[in-house]
Chain A
Amino acid sequence: MSGPLLEVKDLRVEFPTRRGTLVAVDGASLAIAPGEILGVVGESGAGKSLTGMAIIGLLEPPGRIAAGEIRLAGERIDGLPYEQMRRIRGRRIGAIFQDPLTSLNPLFTVGEQLTETILAHLEVTPAAARTRALALLAEVGIPAPQARIDHYPHQFSGGMRQRVVVALALCAEPRLIIADEPTTALDVSIQAQIIALLRRLAREHGTAVMLITHDMGVIAETADRVAVMYAGRIAEIGPVREVIHAPRHPYTAGLMGSIPKVGRGAGKKRGRLVQIEGAMPRLNAIPPGCAFNPRCPQRFARCAAERPELIAVGTTAAACWLYADGP
Chain B
Amino acid sequence: MLAFILRRLAQAALVMLTVGLIAFSLFRFVGDPVLFMLGQEATPEDRTRLTLLLGLDQPFYVQYAGFVARAVQGEFGISLRQVRPVSGMILERLPATLELALVAAVLALVAGIVMGVYTALRRNSWFSQALLALSLIGVSLPTFLIGILLILVFAVLLGWLPSFGRGETVDLGWWSTGFLTASGLKALILPSITLGLFQMTLIQRLVRTEMLEVLRTDYIKFARARGLSDRAVHFRHALKNTLVPVITITGLQLGAIIAFAIITETVFQWPGMGLLFIQSVQFADIPVMAAYLCLIALFFVVINLVVDLLYYAVDPRLRIDRAAAAH
Show the binding face of A for B, using Cβ within 8 Å. 56, 58, 82, 86-91, 94-95, 97-99, 102-109, 116-117, 120-121, 151-152, 154-155, 165, 168-169, 171-172
Smallest Cβ-Cβ distance to A117: which chain B residue: B226
> In the bound complex, what is the Cα–Cα distance between A183 and B104 (angstroms)?
51
Query: Which of B111-119, B170-178, B316-324 is found at the contact surface with chain A?
Result: B316-324
Using A97-B222, A104-B222, A165-B222 as known contacts, say yes or no to A117 and B228 having CB atoms under 8 A apart: yes
Q: Are B226 and A106 in contact (CB under 8 A)?
A: no
Q: Are B228 and A154 in contact (CB under 8 A)?
A: no
> In the bound complex, what is the Cα–Cα distance between A95 and B241 (angstroms)?
22
Smallest Cβ-Cβ distance to B324: which chain A residue: A155
B240 at the interface (CB under 8 A from A): yes
> In the bound complex, what is the Cα–Cα distance between A225 and B316 (angstroms)?
42
Q: Are A120 and B228 in contact (CB under 8 A)?
A: yes
Smallest Cβ-Cβ distance to B219: which chain A residue: A105
Please name the 9 residue pairs, one residue from A and one from B, whose CB atoms are nearest each other, closest first. A90-B227, A95-B225, A102-B218, A89-B227, A152-B316, A90-B226, A103-B222, A105-B219, A117-B226
Which residues of B in the span 192-234 have a Cβ within 8 Å of any Cβ on A?
Answer: 217-230, 232
Q: Are A95 and B222 in contact (CB under 8 A)?
A: yes
> In the bound complex, what is the Cα–Cα distance between A245 and B90 (angstroms)?
87
> In the bound complex, what is the Cα–Cα distance between A121 and B228 (angstroms)?
8
Which residues of chain B have C-beta atoms less than 8 A from A168's C-beta? 222, 226
Q: Which of A87, A117, A154, A172 contacts B316 (CB 8 A)?
A: A154
B237 at the interface (CB under 8 A from A): yes
13 A-B residue pairs with Cβ-Cβ distance under 8 Å, sorted by A, are A87-B227, A89-B226, A91-B227, A95-B225, A95-B226, A98-B218, A103-B218, A105-B241, A106-B219, A109-B316, A120-B229, A165-B222, A171-B226
B57 at the interface (CB under 8 A from A): no
Q: Tell me the dominant secondary structure on chain B's binding face.
A: helix
Which residues of chain B have C-beta atoms less than 8 A from A86's C-beta? 224, 227-230
Q: How far is the CB of B221 from chain A (nearest CB, A)?
A: 7
Q: Are A106 and B317 in contact (CB under 8 A)?
A: yes
Which residues of chain B have C-beta atoms less than 8 A from A108's C-beta? 237, 240
Which residues of chain A have C-beta atoms less than 8 A from B323's C-beta? 151-152, 155
> In the bound complex, what is the Cα–Cα distance between A87 and B323 (angstroms)?
35
> In the bound complex, what is the Cα–Cα distance between A121 and B225 (angstroms)?
12
Which residues of chain A have C-beta atoms less than 8 A from B218's C-beta? 97-99, 102-103
B46 at the interface (CB under 8 A from A): no
Q: Which of B221, B223, B225, B316 contacts A106 (CB 8 A)?
A: B316
Given A97-B221, A155-B320, 15 more contacts at CB 8 Å? Answer: A58-B221, A86-B229, A86-B230, A89-B226, A94-B226, A97-B218, A99-B218, A102-B219, A103-B218, A107-B240, A107-B315, A107-B316, A120-B228, A155-B323, A168-B226
Q: Are A104 and B225 in contact (CB under 8 A)?
A: no
Using A152-B323, A155-B323 as known contacts, say yes or no to A103 and B227 having CB atoms under 8 A apart: no
Which residues of chain A have C-beta atoms less than 8 A from B217's C-beta? 102
Q: How far is the CB of B249 from chain A (nearest CB, A)?
A: 18
B314 at the interface (CB under 8 A from A): yes
Which residues of chain B have C-beta atoms less than 8 A from A99's C-beta? 218
Count, chain B residues at interface, CB 8 A: 25
Smallest Cβ-Cβ distance to B237: which chain A residue: A105
Smallest Cβ-Cβ distance to A174: which chain B residue: B227
> In the bound complex, what is the Cα–Cα distance between A86 and B320 (angstroms)?
34
Q: Which of A56, A98, A107, A116 contacts B241 (CB 8 A)?
A: A107
Which residues of chain A have C-beta atoms less than 8 A from B226's C-beta? 89-90, 94-95, 117, 120, 168-169, 171
Which residues of chain A have C-beta atoms less than 8 A from B316's C-beta? 106-107, 109, 152, 154
Q: How far is the CB of B318 from chain A (nearest CB, A)?
A: 10
Using A90-B228, A120-B232 as known contacts, say yes or no to A152 and B221 having CB atoms under 8 A apart: no
Smallest Cβ-Cβ distance to B323: which chain A residue: A155
Q: Are A56 and B315 in contact (CB under 8 A)?
A: no
> In the bound complex, what is the Cα–Cα distance between A120 and B228 (angstroms)?
6
Q: How far is the CB of B233 from chain A (nearest CB, A)?
A: 10
Using A105-B219, A106-B316, A152-B316 as known contacts, say yes or no to A90 and B240 having CB atoms under 8 A apart: no
Q: Are B232 and A116 in contact (CB under 8 A)?
A: yes
Which residues of chain B have C-beta atoms less than 8 A from A165's C-beta? 222
> In the bound complex, what is the Cα–Cα distance between A169 and B226 (angstroms)?
7
Q: How far is the CB of A147 from chain B (nearest CB, A)?
A: 8
Smallest Cβ-Cβ distance to A154: which chain B residue: B317
> In the bound complex, what is the Cα–Cα distance between A41 and B225 (angstroms)?
21
Which residues of chain B have C-beta atoms less than 8 A from A90's C-beta? 225-228
Smallest Cβ-Cβ distance to A60: which chain B residue: B221
Which residues of chain A have C-beta atoms less than 8 A from B232's C-beta? 116, 120
Which residues of chain B have C-beta atoms less than 8 A from A152's C-beta? 316-317, 323
Q: Are A89 and B241 in contact (CB under 8 A)?
A: no
Q: How far is the CB of A105 from chain B (nearest CB, A)?
A: 4
> In the bound complex, what is the Cα–Cα distance between A326 and B317 (angstroms)?
61
Q: Are A105 and B227 in contact (CB under 8 A)?
A: no
Cβ contacts B238-251/A at 8 Å (1 or 0 each) = 00110000000000
> In the bound complex, what is the Cα–Cα distance between A102 and B222 (angstroms)?
9
Smallest Cβ-Cβ distance to B243: which chain A residue: A107
> In the bound complex, what is the Cα–Cα distance between A154 and B318 (angstroms)?
10
Q: How far is the CB of A315 from chain B (nearest CB, A)?
A: 33
Smallest Cβ-Cβ distance to A171: which chain B residue: B226
Q: How far is the CB of A162 from chain B (nearest CB, A)?
A: 12
Q: Are A58 and B315 in contact (CB under 8 A)?
A: no
> In the bound complex, what is the Cα–Cα distance between A105 and B236 (angstroms)?
10
Q: How far is the CB of A62 from chain B (nearest CB, A)?
A: 12
> In the bound complex, what is the Cα–Cα distance between A95 and B218 (angstroms)?
12
> In the bound complex, what is the Cα–Cα distance between A102 and B316 (angstroms)?
15
Q: Which of B220, B225, B236 contacts A89 (CB 8 A)?
A: B225
Q: Are A97 and B223 in contact (CB under 8 A)?
A: no
Which among A87, A154, A169 has the greatest number of chain B C-beta atoms within 10 A?
A154
